[in-house]
Amino acid sequence: MVNRDLGKMRKNYGLQQLNRSELAADPIEQFKKWFEEAKKSDIYEPNAMALATVDEKNRPCCRIVLLKGIDEGFIFYTNYLSRKGQHLGSNASAAATFWWDRLERQVRIEGAVEKVQPETSDAYFLSRPVGSQISAIASPQSQRVESYEQLLNLKKSVDEFKLVRPEYWGGYRIIPRRVEFWQGRENRLHDRFDYSKDQNSGAWCIQRLAP
């Protein structure tokens, strides 16, 4: 029954098209343009992205994180000792994917990952609500805990009058090497434009890919 339903689940796309002539020369500029449109549409968390890393045996692992900044790369914040933090410590590469269903758009980003400057992480940490700061300090992200009570006790042990960003929490920046913009089209004949960076010249090359 479930499989029959799954087989029948099908949406048709065709809201818009993406033309080569309207693309920015730089994928970060193109991303900003699309992100502004995503913010204006009825998407609950337009900055949520699936983030893939690989472990020391090259096994992939994926989870959602929130995009929190765009400069020369795409910035997210997390616990540096978490599972993803360990993966990035042994292989500093990641891929991130956005799916903006209301716009029938997907963006895929691949690149090298670096930690942001400590001052950048400090500034973002302090901009967060106090409760989130306390949880970030208290939570040994990705480690086994006995119970929810244990988490509450860890939270209680944080002095809320002395909140400083712990060294184990901060930002990462994905510096794009490849970025793809995908626009859903009729009959699955979607538009795909792939930006890849020439490693010598640093220039971006844009190609249309088959869907």
Ligand X SMILES: Cc1cc2nc3c(=O)[nH]c(=O)nc-3n(C[C@H](O)[C@H](O)[C@H](O)COP(=O)(O)O)c2cc1C
Return the SS3 of 209: coil
188 is catalytic: yes
Rounded least distance, CB 104 to ligand X, Å: 20
Is residue 151 within 8 A of residue 139, CB to CB? The reply is: yes
Rounded least distance, CB 153 to ligand X, Å: 20
Contact call for residue 142 and ligand X (CB under 6 A): yes
Instruction: Report the alpha-carbon distance of residue 105 to residue 53 in Å, rounded.
Output: 22
- Tell the burial category of 199 from Cβ atoms under 10 Å away from its Cβ (0-12, 13-18, 19+): exposed
Rounded least distance, CB 196 to ligand X, Å: 27
Rounded least distance, CB 53 to ligand X, Å: 7
Residue 128: partners with Cβ closer than 8 Å, 6 or more residues away: 136
Q: Which is nearer to ligand X, 63 or 178 (CB)?
A: 63
Contact call for residue 74 and ligand X (CB under 6 A): no
In this chain, which of 82, 121, 133, 183 binds ligand X, going by CB under 6 A?
82
Contact call for residue 54 and ligand X (CB under 6 A): no
Residues 26-45 that bind ligand X (CB under 6 A): 45
Buried b / exposed e across 132-150, counting CB within 10 Å, b at 16+? Answer: ebbbbbbbebeeeeeeeee
Contact call for residue 65 and ligand X (CB under 6 A): yes
Is residue 176 within 8 A of residue 110, CB to CB? The reply is: yes
Q: Could you say which of 173, 177, 178, 188 is catalytic?
A: 188
The catalytic site residues sit at: 188
Positions touching ligand X (CB under 6 A) are 45, 48, 61, 63-66, 76-78, 82-84, 141-142
